Structure 1
Amino acid sequence: MLTRTPVFAIALLALAAMLAACSNSSASPTATPAPATSPSPGASREDPEAGFRALLDAINRKDYAGVFDGLSAEARATFTQDAVRALIDKIGGADANFSVTLQSVNSRTVNGDQAQLGLTLVVGYQGQTYPLTDVAFMVFEDGKWRLSDHFLQTAIAAAGRGAPPAEPRVFRAGGCVEGDPLGGVYLPSRLKVLDACVTVEGLVREVEEPAAGEGDGDLSFNVELTGDDLRLINDGNRKNMHGWLHMEIVPLDQPNVRTPQVGERVRVTGPWVLDTVHGHNEIHPVWHLEVLAP
């Protein structure tokens, strides 16, 4: 996991109790809602924002059953109702007035039964307020939008109640990993594995540090490919990323994978995946990165 400052550690611990997928990135509290970036759900469905607000309301009321019901099936499989109760009680014991407020929805993407909300929240904890930005992933299940997010596992570790969500990598000859290629990935269910291990070369065009990202701690960058490697991009990459391939280094790998710089030629190894929410292809996570001669 990323090393966090004391303020962010407090915020993350508070968010553990909330189970509300709130990240530890700071944000300006004056953000204004942005228009939807894709069509809203059908008329028979509530907006995913309503599902998220209902979850926050349950958290603030310490409604354990309501919080648990607001989680996706994937989340409920890894985080029991007893764990929900224990974490909320733990934070409530430290601050009975703990609260979280949704200040604004800054972006909204809906793709079938999946949605992504870019959020600004304000956490009140032990007399302090912490403005936070995050990207919450929602899934439409059993007639309602529910939260499905990586902080359900990470928060347990942050509160000292469990191990980190991924084991250290074990590599085979050639640089591919043993076991799950998506180990350590933020909400892996949103990614469809197209090839469990590929190696590509290209020119780094953009780099986004973790603090500027979606709140999952990933270091993101885009690479311009050539030749046969162009088969790895799709229409989503061409439309939204200048035809570049998106790549992400997750916190698990950041101690061992160097940060690329714009203008470097690199050779990268990791799983080739489709981001089913945004519709573009990626290498995510990046396990190896080698800088090549210009």
Structure 2
Amino acid sequence: MAALPHRGGLLAAVGLGLVVAVVLLAVTSYYWVQIPFVKFTLQAGECKWGPPLAGVYLSGRLRLVDRCRTVSGTVDCLKVEPDGDIHLRLRLDPQFVGLLKPANSIQVCADQPGPHLVVEIIPQRPQGILFRTNNADAGGFIDPRTPAPGDHITASGPYVIDTNILHRVLYQGRAAENWAEIHPAWAISVDRPAQPGQPNQFGPEFGETQ
């Protein structure tokens, strides 16, 4: 009879260990495990399960600062890039301007020359040959709808620094690398639609002058 309390304590310890193991497994899975064939539809303010940069090609060029950040602002212009990404240049609301880096000063729109945060919507499916790994299917999520220029939006996704040194070449020697982005955008909601007829005036790039 004297051994029963000891056995009960042992069972309790084993049970606690199992609970801790399950919690650790769940946390690890949330951050690092991609669930095959599962794609999440996310709302602004929600974070995606699994590796935050899944679905981004050459993700090593992006320095992860925050695996899930939500921001808001006005889309002043947008453009489809050769890799299939849609670049939104977002004029941040005042509470988020601290996320901008010096290199964001070159991310401008023709009618809004101030710095913008880049928000990138990656293609839903593989495109072409060079950028086949660049797609939301591989990332395990459904792309958000592309907002219109002038829309005020809330966007969620990984907050990263794009360290690609080739940007300095493309912008003719300007310190263009290390700008801040939400990349990829997991969710975007339009809080206030643009007025009809809002122009899309993407700013100068690749060394052009304003």
Which band: TM-score by shorter chain? Answer: 0.5 to 0.7
- Which stretches in structure 1 are left out of the alignment for 5+ residues? 1-165
Structure 1 partner of 2:91: 224
SS at structure 2 position matched to 1:229? helix
Aligned pairs (5 A) from 1:1-294: 168-170=38-40, 174-209=45-80, 213=81, 215-241=82-108, 242-252=114-124, 253=136, 256-277=143-164, 278-293=177-192
* Bigger RCO (CA 8 Å, 6+ sep): 2
Q: In the alignment, is the contact (CA less than 8 A) between 1:169 and 1:178 conserved in 2? A: no
Q: In the alignment, is the contact (CA less than 8 A) between 1:181 and 1:196 conserved in 2? A: yes
Q: Which amino acid aligns with 1:270?
A: G
Q: Over the residues paired in the alignment, what is the CA RMSD in angstroms?
A: 2.4
Distance in structure 1 (CA, Å) of the matches to 2:42 and 2:145: 20
SS at structure 2 position matched to 1:291? strand
Give the number of aligned pairs: 125
Distance in structure 1 (CA, Å) of the matches to 2:79 and 2:38: 24
SS at structure 2 position matched to 1:182? coil
In the TM superposition, what is the alpha-carbon distance from 1:179 to its structure 2 partner? 1.3
SS at structure 2 position matched to 1:262? coil
Q: Which amino acid aligns with 2:120?
A: E
Distance in structure 1 (CA, Å) of the matches to 2:78 and 2:181: 14
- Which stretches in structure 2 are left out of the alignment for 5+ residues? 1-35, 109-113, 125-135, 165-176, 194-210
SS at structure 2 position matched to 1:179? coil
Q: Which amino acid aligns with 2:123?
A: P
Q: Give the structure with the higher percent strand.
A: 1
Task: Work out the percentage of aligned pairs sharing the same amino acid.
Answer: 34
- Name the TM-score, length of structure 1 as normaliser: 0.39
Greater Cα radius of gyration, structure 1 or 2? 2
Q: In the alignment, is the contact (CA less than 8 A) between 2:107 and 2:117 conserved in 1? A: no
1:28-56 CA deviation, whole Å, 9 max, x = no partner?
xxxxxxxxxxxxxxxxxxxxxxxxxxxxx
Distance in structure 2 (CA, Å) of the matches to 1:227 and 1:192: 24
In the TM superposition, what is the alpha-carbon distance from 1:256 to its structure 2 partner? 3.6
Structure 1 partner of 2:168: none
Q: Which amino acid aligns with 1:225?
A: L
SS at structure 2 position matched to 1:228? helix
Distance in structure 2 (CA, Å) of the matches to 1:246 and 1:175: 19
Structure 1 partner of 2:15: none
